[in-house]
């Protein structure tokens, strides 16, 4: 089943998808000055919506952005999802920019719902080849440099997308950011998870300023359902090569196993991958 994109604007509700909804001087467009969340849409609902609204409030605080009350945001999400066919898997984006440059005016807030790209669905079972790419910063710099907005989910994703294009131009599917001091951090749109010693591990977000991934948090909080423990640790690409499995998790991607890192095959735990997909509701 295919579905057309849904667009809903705070205070206006659902509008036809081609409707102009931004001013030419919106700071989200001019400066990338805004925040967003993306959640998975299943059965007509946004999965883990409360966690996404929590993180959006944290992002707004980091940018000193006057995010509307979460009841209005939840209502906007409800309006958008009511216009989406419940049987179609989708992704919902909730966006809040600083609004018009001539401000101080109201923030711009809207939501879109779109289908999940076929390549994203395919990667859940096929896995992905990943290349490491430096982010140029020491792993533990960002907690002490709040202007770098570590931990905030800002709309400034040009660098994230350029990193992924670079990886794809170099024969991979996606990239893994590595710090200047050699630690694996996260993907440009995903959280890193690995299996070692009957434990699912991820990189500590508060210590590194990476985005605190909601999907990885859910997975690690439910690791016992897989007969595993959960932990957080710093890890290098060399150490990742010696683990029992490596994954990227993200709200719409769900989970995808890394099949190789910089061309070196990684061990693929196919049966565990299937159980993780089922636990996360992506099977
Ligand atoms: C930089 C970054 N890290 C990690 C993630 C994964 O987080 P989540 O599971 O909350 O979607 C995302 C986006 O989805 C991201 O953009």
Please determine, for residue 1, whether its predicted confidence score (pLDDT) is greater than 60: no
Q: What is the pLDDT of residue 4?
A: 86
Looking at ligand 1, which atom is closest to the CA of residue 160?
A: 1
The pocket around ligand 1, CB under 6 angstroms, is made up of 38, 186, 188-191, 211, 213-216, 249-251
Please determine, for residue 71, whether its predicted confidence score (pLDDT) is greater than 70: yes
Please determine, for residue 153, whether its predicted confidence score (pLDDT) is greater than 80: yes
Distance 250 CA to ligand 1 centre (A): 5
**Residue 245 contacts residue 220 (beta carbons within 8 Å):** no
Q: What is the pLDDT of residue 134?
A: 98
How far, CA to CA in Å, does 36 sit from each of 153, 156, 279?
6, 10, 26
Distance 100 CA to ligand 1 centre (A): 27
Q: What is the pLDDT of residue 170?
A: 97
pLDDT tens by residue, 188-230: 999 999 999 999 999 999 999 999 999 999 999 999 999 999 9
Looking at ligand 1, which atom is closest to the CA of residue 211?
A: 3
> Average of pLDDT values for 155-178?
98
Structure-token pair, residue 24: 């030419």
Q: What is the pLDDT of residue 104?
A: 81
Q: What is the pLDDT of residue 51?
A: 98
Q: Which residue, by CA, sits nearest to atom 12 of ligand 1?
A: 189
Distance 251 CA to ligand 1 centre (A): 7
Look at residues 194, 192, 6, 198 and name the one whose alpha carbon lies nearest to residue 85: 6
Look at residues 261, 238, 239, 236 and name the one whose alpha carbon lies nearest to residue 248: 261
> Average of pLDDT values for 136-148?
97
Structure-token pair, residue 3: 């579905």
Q: Which residue, by CA, sits nearest to atom 4 of ligand 1?
A: 190
Query: What percentage of the chain exceeds 70 in pLDDT?
Result: 99
Please determine, for residue 91, whether its predicted confidence score (pLDDT) is greater than 80: yes
Mean pLDDT of the chain: 97
pTM > 0.85: yes
Q: How confident is the model at residue 2 (pLDDT cuts 50, 70, 90)?
A: low
Looking at ligand 1, which atom is closest to the CA of residue 39?
A: 11
Q: Which residue, by CA, sits nearest to atom 13 of ligand 1?
A: 189
Q: How many CB atoms lie within 10 A of CB 197?
A: 10
> Average of pLDDT values for 240-267?
98
Distance 248 CA to ligand 1 centre (A): 9
Query: What percentage of the chain exceeds 90 in pLDDT?
Result: 96
pLDDT tens by residue, 35-64: 999 999 999 999 999 999 999 999 999 999
């Amino acid at each position: 089943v295919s579905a057309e994109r849904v667009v809903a604007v705070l205070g206006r509700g659902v509008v036809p998808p081609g409707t102009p909804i931004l001013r030419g001087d919106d700071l989200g467009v001019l400066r990338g000055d805004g925040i967003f969340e993306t959640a998975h849409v299943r059965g007509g609902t946004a999965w883990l919506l409360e966690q996404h609204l929590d993180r959006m409030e944290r992002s707004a605080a980091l940018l000193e952005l006057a995010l509307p009350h979460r009841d209005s945001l939840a209502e906007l999400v409800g309006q958008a999802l009511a216009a989406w066919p419940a049987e179609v898997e989708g992704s919902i984006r909730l966006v809040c920019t600083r609004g018009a440059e001539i401000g101080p005016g109201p923030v711009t807030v809207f939501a879109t719902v779109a289908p999940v790209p076929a390549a994203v669905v395919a990667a859940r079972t096929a896995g992905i080849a990943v290349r490491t790419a430096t982010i140029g910063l020491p792993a533990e710099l960002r907690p002490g440099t709040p202007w770098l907005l570590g931990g905030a989910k800002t709309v400034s994703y040009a660098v994230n997308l350029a990193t992924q294009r670079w990886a794809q131009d170099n024969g991979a599917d996606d990239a893994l950011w590595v710090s200047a001091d050699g630690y694996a951090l996260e993907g440009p749109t995903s959280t890193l998870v690995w299996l070692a010693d009957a434990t699912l591990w991820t990189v500590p977000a508060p210590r590194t300023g990476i985005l605190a991934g909601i999907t990885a948090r859910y997975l690690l909080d439910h690791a016992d359902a897989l007969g595993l423990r959960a932990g957080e640790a710093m890890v290098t690409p060399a150490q990742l090569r010696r683990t029992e499995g490596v994954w990227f998790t993200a709200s719409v991607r769900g989970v995808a196993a890394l099949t190789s890192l910089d061309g070196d095959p990684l061990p693929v735990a196919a049966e565990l991958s299937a159980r993780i997909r089922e636990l996360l509701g992506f099977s």
